[in-house]
Amino acid sequence: MTVSPATLDAVLAQVDADLDNSLDRLTALLAIQSISTDSAFAADCRRAAQWLVDDLVAQGFAASARATPGHPVVVAHASATQGPHVLFYGHYDVQPVDPLALWHTDPFAAVIQTDAQGRRTIVARGASDDKGQLMTFIEACRAWKAVNGTLPVRVSLLLEGEEESGGKNLPPFMVANADELRADIALVCDTDMWDRTTPSITTMLRGLVGEEIEITCAARDLHSGMFGNAARNPNQVLAEIIASLRAPDGSVTLPGFYDDVAEVPDAVKAQWQGLGFNETAFLAEAGLSIPAGESARSVLEQTWSRPTCEINGMIGGYTGDGFKTVIPAKASAKISFRLVSGMSPDKIRAAFRQHVRSRIPADCSVTFKEHGGSAAITVPADGIYLQQALAALTGEWNKDAVITGSGGSIPVVGEFKSILGMDTLLIGFAQVDDNIHSPNEKYDLDSFHRGIRSWARVLAAFAG
């Protein structure tokens, strides 16, 4: 169906009129202690899943809570006579609240507060990550159904209960139910805006390769006075290997590391330059002042569109209080690579292991332990759904919506691509100061209200 301006205006007016009821529903969901990582709250996770099912059924969705070896997955469908099929993903589980003493209010009794800047916020665990975000979409669907009796496009929802505890049961669930879940585009709300007034769509997520290496030299720890100089020190071997991973210009030295790395289109670079990103302030917030990494690249390029090699941990020898003159038998390190679109996790892992093996002395040995791997995701900049969503967000916020990248990795987006063959648009309305995973988590009421209106517009745009 093509949505008329009058119909869309009526839906947006319904969103505005029903906002207090929308907040009441969000408050009820926030009160459920759906902490997925703690088995003591398993019943609460089931209760949250059922709350969502009941709410969606009341709207006319065909919805159910599907059993998994862990917490349930909520699946819901609403049909439309024509138009594309979208799959919306969110998660109803939340992080633990510890340390409880740092909360100013009960984490599961949502309160509305006004901050020092005059912004009204709702404070509770899960307010931003991700109950407030997923409810923006559900409330947009409710407004459409209240005004129009149906949705402008076919909508399915996939609401997970284990995102905060690893999400290990979702991929096999997706494989088993691929035909039911497959859609034209996936929508993920678990992200934020570029700034408080600029909506954004994240179109690039980096992939990940995690490796742990352990180097063994002597058969046991040795006295450094008796064996010093004569015995190989694995800490030294490890340090030399780690130092060899980057060149003086900050680039990664693995053979073929950049072979499959494409340059960001000039038009995208130009948009990034217009975002007003302050490199100095970004580094200063972390207590730094000098950019590292590839010397010829901006900070945004390095964090969004360039691959990385980072040393996440090093262990070797005596690390307790005081001093112990020992040459350790073993030394280990944990190293991760963030990948960009086109790079193969298997190829990078193999190149890294070969790089390490070639530097191990003949009388020493190395073992490797894999810590996961996933490919990067990039949504084509000229994709029709992306362009429609950008226009819809711009219409709501009266400010051009921007395309952004993310230095992180969101596994479910890769799984949508590898299992269901779907691209994903990451559209969320969180703010960087929402304290997700921390005490006093909050969600701006403006984000909640205009997030609902934004999704209502996006659904209308897809119908067109």
The Cα–Cα gap between 132 and 386 comes to: 23
Overall size of the chain counted in residues: 464
The Cα–Cα gap between 401 and 428 comes to: 12
Residues 321/275, Cβ–Cβ less than 8 Å: no
Which pair of tokens denotes residue 271? 């948009």
> How far is C-alpha 377 from the chain's CA centre?
12
Nearest alpha-carbon partner for 340 in 202, 205, 203: 205
Residues 345/353, Cβ–Cβ less than 8 Å: no
Task: Identify whether 130 is preceded by a cis peptide bond (ω within 30 of 0).
Answer: yes
Q: Do the two domains 5-205+377-463 and 207-261+307-374 of this chain adopt the same fold? A: no
Task: Please measure the distance between the N-terminal and C-terminal CA atoms of the chain and give it in whole angstroms.
Answer: 7
* Helices (runs of H) and strands (runs of E) counted in the chain: 15, 18
> What is the biggest distance separating any 2 CA atoms in the chain, rounded to whole angstroms?
87
The Cα–Cα gap between 337 and 306 comes to: 11
Q: What is the pLDDT of residue 67?
A: 97
Q: What is the pLDDT of residue 176?
A: 98
Q: What is the pLDDT of residue 82?
A: 76
**CATH number attached to the domain at 5-205+377-463:** 3.40.630.10
Write out residues in the chain with pLDDT < 50, as ranges: none
Q: What is the pLDDT of residue 424?
A: 95
Residue-wise pLDDT tens digits, 119-169: 999 999 999 999 999 999 999 999 999 999 999 999 999 999 999 998 899
**CATH number attached to the domain at 207-261+307-374:** 3.30.70.360
Domain ranges for the chain, please list them. 5-205+377-463, 207-261+307-374
The residue assigned the tokens 């010397």 is 295
The Cα–Cα gap between 31 and 126 comes to: 9
